[in-house]
């Protein structure tokens, strides 16, 4: 980490969607805060010509595995991977062991983050006790402990009456709900998307309806209580259509897309590589295009990684028995620049907004902008460098990615948190 008190970033294109800025300009930093460059006397100047300076990227969907499964990831390694990926803040998912259904576990995560995290870690609390969908968690005590959102990520409350009460309580404590939308009886023992390729490969499928039923339920509850329900990793055409209609009516629902659902489809599973196994599963090309359209028209306002590390031992089994999930913190920017920006689908400002304005608005964070007076959390991007991703250089403890050996255009160049360089690629 490079510690500097006062400096000016010069020569770069500044993209700050929250303020409608997209131009070459200087950014001043003093004592960890964004300031007007002219206010700094005798500053150090750091030339970032050829790069893009953006507000610090925020990932609202990260599994750090600590406490409980530190063989796959820790707060230290996961946040270093986040820094290398260009993220300055992450929301830590609550499906740890023990899970985040008590103030004690939240305090443990906060203390470990203070000691070892390279980026800002915001804790997320459980919706239900033990995330088993049977009894509501102590939402008030979780709020007092410092959680900024609620989720049973990895699981989904099936009891609609319980979910109704959870939404009401979440609103009373001003906590957004992030839901893994999945109707379990329809999912069954499925391991991939139900469609042409599941039939050809002879695998049990997960129908699109398993996601869509819960999304419609959540839209209804969001309308009933006028409260924020966020749909994690939506993946189907109908999911996007339902969200589009609901948002047009002013219902307080939001959605995220993952880089892997933007770039990959169920056809990739013909390789029988368990690094293509995730939940929700990779869908059809038609679904992928619908997700991209949703990103373009604003229906999907957030991109999140669903970084889900697993050990090599866990993944090196038959496809049916492998756990769902892939790592994604260090490939998110390369995937999205390649698939969305360089393809002409999203402008740079539109893309940056999905990682800044969208997440900050949902979580109510004073972040997502480079406005003077805010924390100096900054993501520096080299938009044009071509490279081949090598997972063996990852800072994560795990290696479960489908993108090893993929050629990308664009990557994170540096990451600044509170004015400190927590990652700079050329110094690694």
Question: CB count, 10 Å around CB of 33?
Answer: 14
Distances (CA, A) of 174 to 139, 170, 307: 10, 6, 26
Q: Which of 306, 320, 377, 384 is catalytic?
A: 306
For position 5, what pLDDT does the model report? 84
Residue 107's CB: how many other CB atoms inside 10 A? 13
Cα–Cα nearest to 172, from 194, 150, 205, 197: 150
Q: How far apart are CA 243 and CA 247, in angstroms?
A: 6
pLDDT of residue 374: 98
* Secondary structure class of 360 (helix, strand, coil): helix
Q: Tell the burial category of 319 from Cβ atoms under 10 Å away from its Cβ (0-12, 13-18, 19+).
A: middle
Instruction: Using DSSP, state whether 272 is helix, strand or coil.
Output: coil
Query: Which one, of 149, 124, 125, 154, lies nearest residue 137 by Cα?
Result: 125
Cα gap 88→82, rounded to integer Å: 7
Burial of 41 (0-12, 13-18, 19+ CB in 10 A): exposed
DSSP letter for each residue of 44-79 = EEEE-TTSEEEEPEEEEEE---TTT-TTT--HHHHH
**306 in catalytic set:** yes
Cβ atoms of 78 and 385 within 8 Å: the answer is no
Q: How many CA atoms lie within 13 A of 69 on its CB side?
A: 18
144 alpha-carbon distance from chain centroid:
24
Sign of the C-alpha dihedral, residues 281, 296, 390, 329?
Answer: negative
- The strand pair at 205-206 and 420-424 is best described as unpaired
pTM for the structure as a whole = 0.97
DSSP 296-339: HHTSS-EE---B----HHHHSS-GGGSPS-B--TTTHHHHHIII
CB 127 within 8 A of CB 102: no
Predicted pLDDT at 2? 55
* Residue-wise pLDDT tens digits, 249-275: 999 999 999 999 999 999 999 999 999
Q: What is the 3-state secondary structure (H, E, C) of 240-258?
A: HHHHHHHHHCCCCEEEEEC
Which domains occur in the chain, in start order?
6-52+375-427 (2.30.40.10), 55-363 (3.20.20.140)
pLDDT in tens, 335-344: 999 999 999 9
The confidence score (pLDDT) of residue 427 equals: 65
Each residue's pLDDT expressed in tens, for the chain with a length of 428 residues: 455 689 999 999 999 999 999 999 999 999 999 999 999 998 899 999 999 999 999 999 999 999 999 999 999 999 999 999 999 999 999 999 999 999 999 999 999 999 999 999 999 999 999 999 999 999 999 999 999 999 999 999 999 999 999 999 999 999 999 999 999 999 999 999 999 999 999 999 999 999 999 999 999 999 999 999 999 999 999 999 999 999 999 999 999 999 999 999 999 999 999 999 999 999 999 999 999 999 999 999 999 999 999 999 999 999 999 999 999 999 999 999 999 999 999 999 999 999 999 999 999 999 999 999 999 999 999 999 999 999 999 999 999 999 999 999 999 999 999 999 999 998 65
């Amino acid at each position: 980490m490079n510690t500097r008190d006062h400096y000016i970033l010069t020569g770069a294109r500044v993209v700050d969607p929250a303020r409608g800025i997209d131009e070459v300009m200087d950014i001043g930093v003093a004592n960890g805060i964004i300031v007007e460059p002219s206010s700094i006397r005798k500053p150090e100047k750091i030339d970032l010509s050829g790069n893009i300076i953006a507000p610090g990227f925020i990932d609202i969907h990260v599994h750090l595995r600590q406490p409980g499964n530190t063989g796959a990831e820790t707060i230290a390694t996961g946040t270093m991977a986040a820094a290398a990926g260009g993220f300055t803040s992450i929301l830590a998912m609550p499906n740890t062991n023990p899970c985040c259904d008590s103030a004690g576990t939240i305090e443990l995560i906060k203390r470990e983050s203070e000691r070892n995290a390279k980026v800002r870690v915001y804790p997320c609390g459980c919706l239900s006790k033990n995330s088993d969908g049977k009894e509501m968690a102590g939402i008030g005590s979780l709020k007092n402990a410092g959680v900024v959102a609620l989720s049973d990520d990895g699981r989904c409350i099936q009891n609609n009456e319980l979910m109704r009460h959870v939404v009401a309580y979440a609103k009373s404590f001003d906590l957004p709900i992030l839901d893994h939308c999945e109707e379990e009886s329809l999912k069954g023992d499925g391991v991939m998307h139900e469609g042409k390729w599941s039939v050809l490969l002879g695998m049990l499928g997960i129908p699109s309806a398993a996601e869509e039923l819960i999304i419609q339920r959540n839209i209804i509850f969001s309308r009933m209580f006028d409260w924020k329900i966020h749909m994690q990793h939506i993946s189907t055409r109908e999911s996007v259509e339902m969200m589009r209609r609901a948002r047009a009516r002013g219902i307080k629902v939001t959605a995220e897309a993952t880089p892997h659902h933007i770039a990959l489809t169920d056809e990739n599973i013909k390789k029988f590589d368990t690094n293509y196994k995730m939940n929700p599963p990779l869908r059809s090309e038609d679904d992928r295009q619908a997700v991209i359209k949703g990103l373009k028209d604003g229906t999907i306002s957030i991109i999140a990684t669903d970084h889900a590390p697993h050990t090599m031992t866990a993944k090196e089994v038959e496809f049916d028995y492998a756990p769902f999930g892939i790592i994604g913190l260090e490939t998110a920017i390369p995937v999205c620049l390649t698939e969305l920006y360089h393809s002409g689908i999203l402008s740079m400002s539109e893309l940056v907004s999905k990682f800044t304005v969208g997440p900050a608005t949902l979580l109510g964070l004073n972040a997502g902008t480079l406005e003077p007076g805010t924390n100096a959390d900054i993501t520096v991007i080299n938009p044009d460098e071509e490279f081949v991703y090598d997972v063996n250089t990852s800072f994560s403890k795990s290696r479960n990615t489908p993108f090893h050996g993929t050629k990308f255009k664009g990557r994170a160049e540096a990451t600044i948190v509170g004015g400190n360089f927590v990652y700079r690629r050329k110094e690694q």
